[in-house]
Structure 1
Amino acid sequence: MRARKLAWSVVMATSLAAPAAFAASAAAQPAAPVKAPACDPTRTEPEYRGKVPSPEQVLGIELGERQVTAAESDRYLETVAARSERVVSGTLARSAQGRPLKYAIVGEPGLLSKAGLAKVRSDAARLRDPRTPDALARRIAERGVPILWVSGNVHGDEPSGTDAALQVLRDLGDRTDCAAANVLENALVIVLPTQNPDGREANTRQNAYGFDMNRDWFARTQPETDGKLAMLNQYPPQLYIDAHEMGGDSYFFPPNADPIYHETPEEAVGWINDLYGAAMAAEFTRQGIDFFNRDVYDLFYQGYGDTVPTTAFHAAGMTFEKGGDSPYPDRFREQYLTQWVTLSQAAANRQRILTQWRKMAVDAYRQGRAGKLEPNRIYNPPNQVDRPVPDRAVRHYFLRADDRSKRAEVRTIVRRLQRMGVRVELLSRPLTVPDYKAYGRAEARTTLPAGTYWIPMAQVQKHWVQAMLNEDSYTPFPYFYDVTAWSLPLLGNVSGGSSGAELRPRASSVPALREESAAVARHGGKPKIGVLQLSDTSSAARQSAGWLRHRLDREWRLPFSLLKPADVAAGKLAGVEVLLVPNGPAATAYGQLGAAGQAALREWTRDGGRYVGWQGGTELAARLGLTTAQLSEPTSDVPGTLFRVNVDRESPLAGGVGATAWQFYSYDLVMRQPDPAKVAVRYPAADSPDWFVSGFERGAAELGGTAAVVDEPVGEGRTVLFGGEPNFRAFTDGTAKLLANAILGPDPRPGAAALAAPAPSGAAAAKAAALPQAESPIRVSVKAADAARTAALMRSVGARWAERRGGDAVHYVIDNPRGLPADRHPFAGRLAAEIRRSGITPIAVTLP
């Protein structure tokens, strides 16, 4: 399953459609009629010519008997490619641990020559180019083939999509019957059996660095994602299948749940819902296989294996989820069925798909030229749009390059845009913009200097430009599976803005930028760094530490020692100058430190050590008495949002950052520091002009004036504590620079009163010790009047919780000690529906 943070957030009077029951029978899922091809794809008896060895001949098993290993997948793929003239193979990337990501391209032999593949790529480029004459585009649509991708196993512990993809590869490589011939004659198919070979071998969701790679698509921080997108740009898809597993034994395929991102092309939604979704529903109904749709899995956050192919390539991005509680042969069979039915439908509708794909490109260009943003829509009534897209023309985006300290961040954004086919230009003369809207500010007449990057919306990638450079994601209504803010300029803390005016800039095209090593400013030499991972079993700890290891290893190239709490107790802090303590369960780590480890950390800091912590690491510092900052649970509902914060320009953390930054926030602890001299970064007052939020929030004004980062002397040492994650998924580059300065920068000037000695019995430590402890918690917020009924409902499903009240709301934090994602949890997946069925209108239900 996606296992992304799933949130149903219902703001008072907002109405949500009741979700389809996870165990609903297939008969209860009506399907729109689909024209069956003359040769039925699922009822045609397969006929093999025998050129390709069976899986049993190569691997000793038939596919579906058990999951194949990553090496076995590679071996069978290469065997098929070697024995079938319909298949060529290659490696599109190597994983973090060096394993290959093997792919196969399948089609008629004439297409697979160097010239044939070049023509497929050329035809795709011409169809996507609005300048291509209509007559030529029609000829290509009549004679060309769509590019169809089948991928699996982006989560390493969801294996069945890989085996099914290998079966598809074998069938297309060797079958001679009409069902296989229809696909071969009318499509080019690219099979990527496993997107995460390291995770497959380790049976972990994440890759070797702890990244959930179904969140990494727009940032492409991981080599596996980067290589995949590089090839997708060579072979842009009209269909991208992303095969997952979830809990239970049902099957999910689209139509998706609301919300759907507003820049998702309508024709692509039509393919997803009415062409492919309807065909699968009809086949599953015919065979009596249980399935559901229009629930749980949305099409909103632009980091998934369905949203990015849809928004960036105008493809039908399709998430398939099979219940992992089913026997493995059933999982394999149903994954194969969805892949085969979908490929067959695409082949049967070849000309329609290419024609509409062309139309999407032309429409995107025309929308961009007119400055028209797509509106928010609801696809599953009775849901209603809670927040419309503003009625403001947007014809241009600009990225300012006149701050030399932000050069690397600006160029990183430009390179990311270019690598997705976005046209970027450079102003050769100053440009006066009458309605320039800097991010988070009001429109104002502004003259932009020469050297500013200009990204016109009048281009085929208009949807992707808006997705990446937006000021806000304009969440249509409050249901979120994952984060709600991801704007590249905000993540990078880069100055820029937009305009709806009709402008004629003097500008030149920017040549493709090369990747640059991320330089970090150093004060003196490299310090000896320790990374204290608070838990081996906590998903939050593994991910936060993994994101940090990636940043240290691959970008900053700073060596470090990885420590556990027991190592601290054993005296292994000796020689460490900077200790980095990422997120994780603070109470567990505090207990594992024991008296010896707790004393060692206090003594190490007091004697000159630099303790840099965030989230759970901040809570641990407070428990140890290493700060006077007081922590409290939030009473707001913020599922993953960017807030502008003010940076103290006198702080050593401010180097290269500027007066403001953008803090990613997701139900983090609220941090209050009574001594203003110890606050390095602060949330603005909620009623000030600096207050700006990109993404969803309810009640976030409680953050106004609180600390985002505190910097406090402790004896001869120092603690730098972040309330939120400064290195979220390794793509919050703006706050990562604050972190780099905390590691490598100088100490602050004297001014703040130092803790002469850590005070584990002080007020801050006492408040931290009283915080509720929950791994991957489930959060429920309701009106006070509904609290009793809500508590009774949660009690009936076996929930255990901590409770807090704020205003007219009651907030429940439900423990999830095994850290299970929503779809694998015994009751989390149905909790929102149960609450609604009880007649309760929740403020928010947020699931892990």
Structure 2
Amino acid sequence: MKKLLLLGIALCSVLTFAQELKSPSEFLGYQLGTQFTRHHEVVDYYQYLASVASDRVQLQEYGKTNERRPLLLAYVSSAENIQNIESIREEHLKDMNGGGDTSKAIVWLSYNVHGNESVSTEASMQTIYELLTSKSDYLENTVVLIDPCINPDGRDRYVNWYNENKNSPYNVDPNSKEHHEGWLNGRANHYMFDLNRDWAWLTQIESQQRLKFFNKWLPHVHVDFHEQGVDNPYYFAPAAEPFHEVITDFQRDFQVTIGKNHAKYFDANGWFYFTKERFDLLYPSYGDTYPTMNGGIGMTYEQGGSGRAGLGIKTGIGDTLTLKDRIAHHHTTGLSTVEVASKNAKKLNDEFKKFYTNKTFKYKSYALNGDEDKIDALTALLQQHNIEYNWGKSGSAKGFSYTTGRTKSIRMSEKSLVVHTDQPKGTLVKVLFEPRAKLSDSVTYDITAWSLPYAYGLDAVASEAKVNTTSSLSAKAPGATIDEDTYAYITDWNSMNDARFLAELLQEKIRVRFSHKPFSINGKSHERGSLIITKSDNKNNTDFVKTLSAVTKKHGKILTATQTGFVDSGKDFGSGFVQVIDDVKVAILSGGPASTLRFGEIWHFFEQQLHYPVAVIDADYMNRVDFSEYDVLILPGGWGYKGFLTKDKLRDLKEWVSNGGKLIAMNGSIKALAGKDGFSVDYKEQEKDSTKSVRPFDGSERERIKSAITGAIFKTKVDNTHPLAYGYDSSYFTLKLGDDSYEYLTNGNVVYLEEGQNKPVSGFAGSKAQAKIAKTLVYGVENHGRGSVIYMVDNPLFRGFWENGKLLFANALFMVN
């Protein structure tokens, strides 16, 4: 492994060494907890430890953030263990196959995944110092991996903001500015993504780089350190229900063991805490659930404070919560975790081996058919998770059909993807592919449905029998040779890869057309949305052939050449139904009413997925922008649009749309347009419940969830003759995150819930919420003058993982007039 500053230092004894080692306070020059430490200073301290204590600390730079800050992983153990660190790792991983003969416990401590939950990085420095000094006996049979800051970009954003705005000395008054971050807060990473919800989807560079090393270790115990509201006492394991059904009895019981050890220390200090509430173990993409579903004991620890707390704040009961207090609590649970792991090293190893060797899953295989680009996108994700997959053989596979919800057979070929549960990562396969997660409790902290066949838009069955496979896939047929004598090139429009191909062509100034009607030419059929690149359109582009060839090769596209624009059926290439795609100029609203997370999803989509330029227009100066320079304006989801979109702003928006602009209104922003003059979208009329009954206060939460949809998947109807739905079948599985419901539009209902489609195919939706969303709009288009308004009630870019929704967004940009 690559090591940073591993300088050999001869020391007479561990005692002498401990006396020489500087504490964080001594090294930084201020008492820990009296200031926030910037990321580069944290890096300095860890590099110092790796230099001075090179026999017991190794430091790995495992990647960099979007803003080029280093991501670090410190390996901490006894001198003997560090000397044999690689053999310990290799022996540990043999347990996945029933082998292995190690007695070492592997503990991974992850700090500061949310940047403005800033105490944990401070606590990490005190924790590693004490592991090397007063608690070094824990390390005799334990390897501790410490990630001091998962989200350096977010953390430095918060720390820099706080240092700029705090009082001197700090002010505990909760109304003081130092306790009120602005819109661009420090919680998320550079692209405003919540990294604690990205472990399974790996959309962000930090997650991708971290998981490479996580999979090399697969720790017995993993802790994710967080903060919550100022007035909350400390939370630690055991977690709340629902637990995912794959979580073993041992994993549940060991959380209790660890929790009781924490309680011993908290009780001795008179600190308040709670367990078994709020934070469940269902959604697989958290820093506690993902490690658990990979055989470890994954836990979240939550300290009161977060971005509001600063260096000190007065709580609701009049106490003062300081950064020093918060450090002490996280530091205590961190050391307590290592202590328990050390005491139970053999049991942890034995149970880890059992986790990987006892597989009794209902479904033995998942067989998937669909567009090759979507299959490629899914296999790329599987590779990142070290999930094995194979390819089908000619024949059929029978099982639960994700499309119909019933038992069905699908035809198999060498292009069919097959994923077995009989493999080391079989438990994770079951979790990510299962048609419907089993809920032990409907009150959950996050979404309750995520199944990858739905997310990637693939026709799939879950088979109780093992599907026959082969290990190799035939190579794709090469595309047509690009030369100047060809009249036109045709290619399909089905996936995000197709959208990236188009986006790059437009930026290379290559003109592209698309067909509004299906057509056939030279005996081959082409669907609506098919891209057509003609020599005539690009006659003034001297590098046309060279550029087209390079872009085609880069994206692995297959082009069909034709020597004529005269079609066998459909519309000829000169028809008005074959339209030139505009190189649109796009703007997105930031700040003000927009959610930072919803904004970030769109920002990341343009820059890291579509690779197409977007202008970020802040709400503070929106009134001073000449929007006639832009073709598209996107309003991300949010909660404050009703107050933000005043009568004057709405008038200006309508005028801009009427003059040819394209407005994409997403999620919460639609509420500000509903029922307003010039916008036909409107709320669905709800039947009023005239009956009233007395309900006990204790049941109020259960009553509320009747009106909730906690991230459930619904099967919708699609009008795929509309440009917004080009590339889609007649149905689409949408991830619905709430019960917002709008009536059908007069025209332009592209994706919608029909009568009887208001029950989820996966996930939880309360009875009242189901009734509310019956026969409602999901995606629609309203023409207004020369422009259009596109309504996206559900979010196709949610957390960047709903792959099958992304083409809808690309259609909104390029296909809708």
Q: Letter of the 1:659 partner, please give it.
A: S
Determine whether 1:354 maps to 2:349.
Answer: yes
**How far 1:255 moved relative to its partner?**
0.9
The equivalent position to 1:251 in structure 2, one of 208, 224, 234, is 234
Between stretches 334-343 and 654-663, larger displacement belongs to 654-663
Q: Letter of the 1:698 partner, please give it.
A: G
Identity, % of aligned positions: 24
Distance change in 2, residues 1:338/1:76 (3 Å) = same
Cross-structure match for 2:272: 290
**How far 1:440 moved relative to its partner?**
4.6
Cross-structure match for 1:610: 662
Summarize deviations over 1:521-540 as a string: whole Å, max 9, x none.
Answer: 4653531001123x43x5x6
Summarize deviations over 1:68-94 as a string: whole Å, max 9, x none.
Answer: 222221111111111112111122222
Distance 1:433 1:333 in 2: 56
**How far 1:306 moved relative to its partner?**
0.4
**How far 1:51 moved relative to its partner?**
3.8
Cross-structure match for 2:551: none
TM superposition score normalised by structure 2: 0.75
Q: Letter of the 2:150 partner, please give it.
A: Q
Cross-structure match for 1:793: none
The equivalent position to 1:569 in structure 2, one of 603, 611, 623, is 623
**How far 1:716 moved relative to its partner?**
0.9
Cross-structure match for 2:92: 124
Q: Which runs of 5+ in 1 are unaligned?
A: 1-44, 373-392, 748-848
Contact in 1 for aligned 2:77/2:139 (Cα 8 Å): yes
Distance change in 2, residues 1:517/1:265 (3 Å) = farther
Aligned Cα RMSD in Å? 2.6
* SS of alignment partner, residue 366 of structure 2: strand
Q: Letter of the 1:558 partner, please give it.
A: Y
Distance 2:783 2:279 in 1: 47
Distance 1:613 1:724 in 2: 11
Distance 1:742 1:504 in 2: 39
Contact in 1 for aligned 2:712/2:760 (Cα 8 Å): no
* SS of alignment partner, residue 660 of structure 2: coil
Q: Letter of the 2:806 partner, please give it.
A: A
Cross-structure match for 1:281: 263
Q: Letter of the 2:142 partner, please give it.
A: A
Q: Letter of the 1:736 partner, please give it.
A: K
Contact in 2 for aligned 1:628/1:673 (Cα 8 Å): no
Contact in 2 for aligned 1:195/1:224 (Cα 8 Å): yes
The equivalent position to 2:426 in structure 1, one of 456, 462, 471, is 462
Cross-structure match for 1:647: 718
Cross-structure match for 1:838: none
Q: Letter of the 1:339 partner, please give it.
A: G
TM superposition score normalised by structure 1: 0.72
Distance 1:47 1:615 in 2: 62
Distance change in 2, residues 1:504/1:211 (3 Å) = closer
Distance 2:613 2:401 in 1: 42
* SS of alignment partner, residue 661 of structure 1: strand
Cross-structure match for 1:698: 766
Determine whether 1:323 maps to 2:293.
Answer: no
**How far 1:474 moved relative to its partner?**
2.4
* SS of alignment partner, residue 88 of structure 1: strand
The equivalent position to 1:413 in structure 2, one of 367, 374, 378, is 378
Distance 1:290 1:565 in 2: 42
Cross-structure match for 2:702: none
The equivalent position to 1:151 in structure 2, one of 110, 113, 118, is 110
Determine whether 1:714 maps to 2:784.
Answer: yes
**How far 1:55 moved relative to its partner?**
2.1
Contact in 2 for aligned 1:251/1:321 (Cα 8 Å): yes
**How far 1:655 moved relative to its partner?**
2.2
**How far 1:590 moved relative to its partner?**
0.8
Cross-structure match for 1:221: 203
Distance change in 2, residues 1:440/1:72 (3 Å) = farther
Q: Letter of the 1:76 partner, please give it.
A: Y
Summarize deviations over 1:642-664 as a string: whole Å, max 9, x none.
Answer: 21112111011222232222222
Between stretches 58-67 and 448-457, larger displacement belongs to 58-67
Q: Letter of the 1:398 partner, please give it.
A: A
**How far 1:674 moved relative to its partner?**
4.5
Between stretches 571-580 and 79-88, larger displacement belongs to 571-580
* SS of alignment partner, residue 558 of structure 1: coil
Q: Which runs of 5+ in 2 are unaligned?
A: 1-13, 159-185, 306-314, 316-320, 477-495, 504-512, 514-580, 687-705
Summarize deviations over 1:598-649 as a string: whole Å, max 9, x none.
Answer: 3321111101111111123323344653431212488942122121112111
Cross-structure match for 1:49: 18
Contact in 1 for aligned 2:236/2:300 (Cα 8 Å): yes
Distance 1:598 1:695 in 2: 37
Distance change in 2, residues 1:353/1:504 (3 Å) = same
Determine whether 1:197 maps to 2:152.
Answer: yes
* SS of alignment partner, residue 479 of structure 1: coil
Distance change in 2, residues 1:590/1:710 (3 Å) = same
Cross-structure match for 2:732: 661
Q: Letter of the 1:323 partner, please give it.
A: G
Contact in 2 for aligned 1:568/1:601 (Cα 8 Å): no
* SS of alignment partner, residue 289 of structure 1: coil
1:185-584 correspondence to structure 2 within 5 Å: 185-203=140-158, 204-247=186-229, 248=231, 250-274=233-257, 276-311=258-293, 313-324=294-305, 326-363=321-358, 366-367=359-360, 372=361, 393-401=362-370, 403=371, 407-427=372-392, 429-501=393-465, 503=466, 505-508=468-471, 519=500, 521=502, 524-533=581-590, 535-536=591-592, 538=593, 541-565=595-619, 567-584=621-638
Distance 2:467 2:791 in 1: 47
Contact in 2 for aligned 1:439/1:471 (Cα 8 Å): no
Distance 2:816 2:114 in 1: 41
Distance 1:59 1:687 in 2: 60
Q: Relative contact order (alpha carbons < 8 A, sep ≥ 6): 1 or 2 greater?
A: 1
1:171-186 correspondence to structure 2 within 5 Å: 171-173=130-132, 175=133, 179-181=135-137, 183-186=138-141
The equivalent position to 1:161 in structure 2, one of 110, 117, 120, is 120
1:592-607 correspondence to structure 2 within 5 Å: 595=648, 597-607=649-659
Contact in 2 for aligned 1:394/1:500 (Cα 8 Å): yes
* SS of alignment partner, residue 50 of structure 1: helix
Q: Letter of the 2:304 partner, please give it.
A: G
Distance change in 2, residues 1:78/1:347 (3 Å) = same
Cross-structure match for 1:670: 741
Summarize deviations over 1:346-369 as a string: whole Å, max 9, x none.
Answer: 112111111111111111xx31xx
Contact in 1 for aligned 2:642/2:672 (Cα 8 Å): yes
Distance 1:666 1:158 in 2: 25
* SS of alignment partner, residue 196 of structure 2: coil
* SS of alignment partner, residue 628 of structure 2: coil
Distance 2:264 2:474 in 1: 49
Q: Letter of the 1:653 partner, please give it.
A: L
Q: Letter of the 1:461 partner, please give it.
A: K
* SS of alignment partner, residue 608 of structure 1: coil
The equivalent position to 1:61 in structure 2, one of 8, 25, 30, is 30
Distance 1:516 1:74 in 2: 38
Distance change in 2, residues 1:284/1:565 (3 Å) = closer
Distance 1:470 1:98 in 2: 37
Contact in 2 for aligned 1:260/1:299 (Cα 8 Å): yes
Distance 2:237 2:457 in 1: 36
Contact in 2 for aligned 1:147/1:239 (Cα 8 Å): yes
Distance 2:799 2:38 in 1: 27
Distance change in 2, residues 1:282/1:553 (3 Å) = same
Distance 1:512 1:123 in 2: 37
**How far 1:119 moved relative to its partner?**
1.2
Summarize deviations over 1:332-355 as a string: whole Å, max 9, x none.
Answer: 111111111110111121111111
Distance 1:328 1:657 in 2: 52
Q: Letter of the 2:329 partner, please give it.
A: E
**How far 1:692 moved relative to its partner?**
4.5
Distance 1:101 1:50 in 2: 29
Distance change in 2, residues 1:339/1:190 (3 Å) = same
Distance change in 2, residues 1:412/1:167 (3 Å) = same
Distance change in 2, residues 1:602/1:687 (3 Å) = closer
Distance change in 2, residues 1:445/1:510 (3 Å) = closer
